[in-house]
Structure 1
Amino acid sequence: MGSTSGHSSSENAGSNSAGVGRRDLIKRSAALGLIAVPTMGFLSACATGGGGGNENKETKAPGKTSAKNPLGVEKGAPLEAFIFKGGLGDQYAKDAEADYGKTYGVTVKHTGTQQVGPKLTPRFAGGNPPDVIDNSGADHLDMNKLSTQGQLQDLNALLEAASIDDASKKVKDTIHPSTIEKGKHGDVFDVLYYAFTIYGTWYSQKLLDDKGWEYPKTLDDMVKLCGEIKKEGIAPWTYAGKYPYYVHFNLFAQIAKIGGMDGWIAIDNLEPNAWTSNDAVKQVVEHYEELAAKKYFLQGSQGLTHIQSQTAWNKGKAVFIPNGSWVENESAPTTPKDFGMAVGALFDGGSGDKMPHGTLRGEPSEPYIVASKGKNPEGGMELLRIMLSKKHAQNFATKVKSLTCVVGATDGMTLSPGLASASKVFKEAGENLISLQLQEWYPALTDEKIGGLTSQLLTGDLKAADWIKKTQAYCDAVAKDDSVKKFKRTA
């Protein structure tokens, strides 16, 4: 997802009193408590974080600043970058590093890897971390722990620095506001989510056009269309059954769309009866129960990885797949040239929906951090400032077919089909964007516990009522578990 393979997993209109972290696929634990260990295997680009304190936060005083060097970067000082190399690759980062090198007279030491946590845990413990890190993938570092330990650089200086494209604008004025909310631990902004992921129901526009089908507007319309699709000998849906939390990208957001953000925030906050008392939960989970009962999922989907399900979808074995906007780049090797990859917004549940038609789940993703105890934190922030220029935001869009947090960076560009579609629904949604935290804050809960229930739901082995009852029980257990750090969201 934004990252798992480079997706960007991951993406935030909400604020959070405890600080917000990011993404979706992972179980935290392991060596020194810094690594988030994968529970279900590798996903390309998702990442997570969370809230926490900032005790013992250490920052270094900048060197001499100037209009062109607002962060006081020392020329000739070495800089080391550690970049997650998944579905997004790492060439976009190398391109930014090259520009950094030209300006500051150094060759950036670059490492591209899918094992950020295992490789960097001992370095953080030893006091010699790299300067800037793309902390994504299943084996990412636990940013809650790092922030609490004072290992993350306060990035406020970056936000207040002049943007590269327009010295009259600060960096903070060029990026999506949710990027700042998402990147805070407490009151400190210490994570830059560089990408912006659009989640939704993905499909082939060519296939719909060829068959005379229209993307459904409502849940009922979807069920009707699935019936027509099945008659044509095609499976309506497939999904990454090995990682059923992919289905949550849509299922959770659909609940928030119909029931409203207040109801979802109660779920994020692990409030009693948050699932069982929310009518939208019942409506949405029963919708999935119906899809399963009518056998609208590709046979065998429960055993597929994210790559295998995307390949089946690309080959026309299924019409729809729940995913994030990293899917275009990740599935490119098997996508037909005329596929017409597209993404649709969330479905309407009925006239009582709390959020309007066109509402979309879109969130910042791909977390970049700067090590406060690295040798060159100013240089790390400067590399991020370069990446936040229009030039490099556009380079990212071109190379990996994904949006960045830089507002309007792709305006006027010729975009790939999937990215063009994601950009279109993003603009149409306006402020009706949904950002969720449960999967970010409590990945073991959502990805293992609830994910296991979802797997049973989609194979028809669990009824909706039991899914809801057991999900509430799992959440209640976490709420009562003092060993699990809790977070609270207010909006």
Structure 2
Amino acid sequence: MTSSSHVNRRALLKRSAAAGVLAVPAMGALSACASGGSDGDGGGAAEVEATDDNPLGVDAEARLEVVIFDGGFGDQYALDAGEIYMADYGEIDHSKTQEIRSRLQPRMVSGDPPDLINNSGAEQMDMPALISNDQVADLTPLLDAPSLDDPDVPVRDTLVPGTVEVGQYGGQEVYQLNYAYTIYGTWYSRTALERLGVEYPRTWDEMLSVCEKAKKEDIAGWTYAGQHPYYFTFTLLPFIAKIGGADVLKAIDNLEPNAWRHDAVKAAFEAYYELQAKGYILRGTPGLDHIESQTEWTKGRALFLPNGSWVENEAAETTPDDFEMAVAPPTSLDAGDAMPFETVYAAAGEPFIVPADAGNRAGGMEFLRIMLGRESARNFTQLVSSLSCVQGAAEGLDLPPGLSTASQVLEAAGENVVNPRFREWYPELFRERVGGEIAAMMSGDIDPDRAIANIQRHADDTAADDSIQKFQHP
């Protein structure tokens, strides 16, 4: 597959038909167009001396294979970044898929991976396992390279604080670069609340009151991605931190004994269980996937949705013009909470990796360097209604309603930002075990005490499993 070779860097934001520039192969053909081989097709990269214009030493003739997760952000932002890349370097084989693990894990094992992977979504590959098997490259050369916009400023200094740390797993090496800066919280329609004559609830008693009023109007209080119940943690985990303090989440991350049995966890689980017990959850929610739950929400059948800031773009097709999408921090329990209402869960997300066996590792890192340039970062925000991890890239942009409120929520939080790490450190525990117990609790199959006991047992099993690498907060 080929693509146009040289384009003007300044053309990026003027060209909206980039999808026609970079040809996109079927995912089934990925293994046939890998850039890591030396089969005579120009795919393998030669060693090139770094220069001021080419700080990572990219072979200008080598092809580059990029695979993007086809989720809430789509892939147009990567296609656009590809135009800039091809102005100076070789052609790009660009693909998108939701089946990251099933499609790419075999190629990682066989030593024939793409050069850059957007390792995201429900089929995200297990990062600790990839690191343990030496399958991902250290991105420190990229972070130490001069940024695209100012050669006197290294890439790492252009990133939102905390971005680099998310890519570290127990050492100084940085194995992934998270591109989007995601604000997690309770998403709602300002229009829907206005029609109901209520404001966003700041305490749990107020939340129950709002949900009861909605129920009388045949509107559910909540819906969520029942098939991916870990979505509920996007509000449940910061709720726990609000009640008991940020150290409760650190204890959970560190797999400390009885961390899940903290009083703050019990209070949070009991509060959410009350939503189910009082009939405030949209009927059929346990069977919905993330798209279906978002659609039920945008159709006005439920008031609140736990989600991340990608939802504005992902739900755009079903969102009414007068919806006035907004996000708020999770509702507090009461005035006795350890952290203020403004406390929010926010973190660099949407991870990218360069496989260790990639045939064009320098090209994969250069592609990321381009994505972290101001032009590409601003383009990303405009295209997908999400902040990037590049500092100040959204300044001066006309933000859509949801992203505008997300920015305001982040600013109001100040230092009261939490980022639970066990999600990345122990992905199976997070997605399958914690998510599964929350699903059972929110469908009424088990009560909060049973859910907590089961989760603590799963956490203890993870802690005791010597085959699983462990991580700790400093």
Q: TM-score range by the shorter chain?
A: 0.7 to 0.9
Hey, what's the Cα distance between the residues in 1 that align with 2:120 and 2:338? 33
Tell me which structure has the larger Cα radius of gyration: 2
Residues 381 and 356 of structure 1, relative CA distance in 2, 3 Å threshold = same
Mapping for residues 165-176 of structure 1, pairs under 5 Å = 165-176=149-160
**Secondary structure at 2:441's aligned position in 1?**
helix
Distance 1:168 1:386 in 2: 16
Distance 2:115 2:178 in 1: 16
Give the deviation of 1:460 after TM superposition.
3.2
With normalisation by structure 2, the TM-score equals 0.86
Percent of aligned pairs with the same residue?
49
Deviates more, 1:448-457 or 1:152-161: 448-457
Partner residue of 1:328?
Answer: 312
CA RMSD across the alignment: 2.0
Q: 1:445 to 1:482 in 2, by over 3 A?
A: same
Shift of 1:391: 0.8
1:112 aligns to 2:96 (yes or no):
yes
441 and 348 in structure 1: CA distance in 2 versus 1, 3 angstrom threshold: same
Q: Where do 4+ consecutive residues of structure 1 move more than 4 Å?
A: none
* Cα displacement string for residues 311-364 of structure 1 (whole angstroms, at most 9, x for unaligned residues): 111111110011111111111121111111111012222333232221110111
Match of 1:93 in 2: 78
Aligned residue pairs: how many? 429
Does structure 2 conserve the Cα–Cα contact (< 8 Å) formed by 1:199 and 1:323? Answer: yes
Does the C-alpha gap of structure 1 residues 482 and 75 become closer, same or farther in structure 2, counting only changes over 3 Å?
closer
> How far apart are the structure 1 equivalents of 2:372 and 2:466?
40
1:362 lines up with 2:346 in the alignment: yes
Match of 1:246 among 212, 231, 235: 231
Relative to the length of structure 1, the TM-score reads 0.83
- Cα distance 1:302–1:142, how it changes in 2: closer, same or farther (>3 A)? closer
Q: 1:118/1:449 Cα in 2 relative to 1: closer, same or farther (>3 Å)?
A: closer
In the alignment, is residue 294 of structure 1 matched against residue 278 of structure 2?
A: yes
The 5-angstrom pairing of residues 191-230 of structure 1 reads: 191-230=176-215
Unaligned runs of 5+ in 1: 1-59
**Secondary structure at the counterpart of residue 327 of structure 2:** strand
Q: Report the CA distance between 1:62 and its aligned residue.
A: 6.7
Determine the C-alpha separation between the residues in 1 that align with 2:450 and 2:97. Answer: 41
d(CA) in 2 for partners of 1:206, 1:461: 34
- Cα deviation, 1:33-67, whole Å, max 9, x if unaligned, reads xxxxxxxxxxxxxxxxxxxxxxxxxxx99733333
What residue is the counterpart of 1:444 in the other structure? Answer: 428
Distance 2:441 2:362 in 1: 50
Quote how far apart the aligned CAs of 1:448 are.
Answer: 3.0
Contact 1:216/1:347, CA 8 A, preserved across alignment? yes
Which letter maps to 2:60?
K
Instruction: Note the 1:343-422 alignment, pairs <5 A.
Output: 343-422=327-406
CA offset at residue 262 of structure 1?
Answer: 1.3
Identify the match of residue 251 of structure 2 among 233, 258, 266. 266
Secondary structure of 1:81's aligned partner: strand
Distance in 2, matches of 1:126 and 1:240, equals 34
Among 277, 288, 295, the residue aligned to 1:311: 295
Q: Deviations over 1:351-399 (max 9, x none)?
A: 3323222111011111111123322211111111100011111111111
2:175 aligned partner: 190
1:487 has 2:470 as partner: yes
In 1, Cα distance between equivalents of 2:454 and 2:98 = 34
Q: CA 1:134 to 1:330, structure 2 compared with 1: closer, same or farther past 3 Å?
A: same
Give the structure 1 partner of residue 164 of structure 2. Answer: 180
The structure where helix makes up a greater share of residues is 2
Q: Determine the structure 2 residue equivalent to 1:155.
A: 139
Distance 1:62 1:245, change over 3 A: same
Q: Is the 8 A contact 1:257 1:434 kept in 2?
A: no
Could you tell me how far 1:218 is from its partner in structure 2? Answer: 1.7
The separation in 1 between residues aligned to 2:435 and 2:63, in whole angstroms, is 44
Aligned CA distance change for structure 1 residues 143 and 336 (closer, same or farther; 3 Å):
same
Q: Structure 2 vs 1, CA of residues 407 and 61 (structure 1 numbering), >3 Å: closer, same or farther?
A: farther
Q: 5+ residue gaps in structure 2?
A: 1-44
Q: Could you tell me whether the CA contact under 8 Å between 2:101 and 2:124 is conserved in 1?
A: yes
How has the CA–CA distance of structure 1 residues 247 and 387 changed in structure 2, closer, same or farther, with 3 Å as cutoff?
same
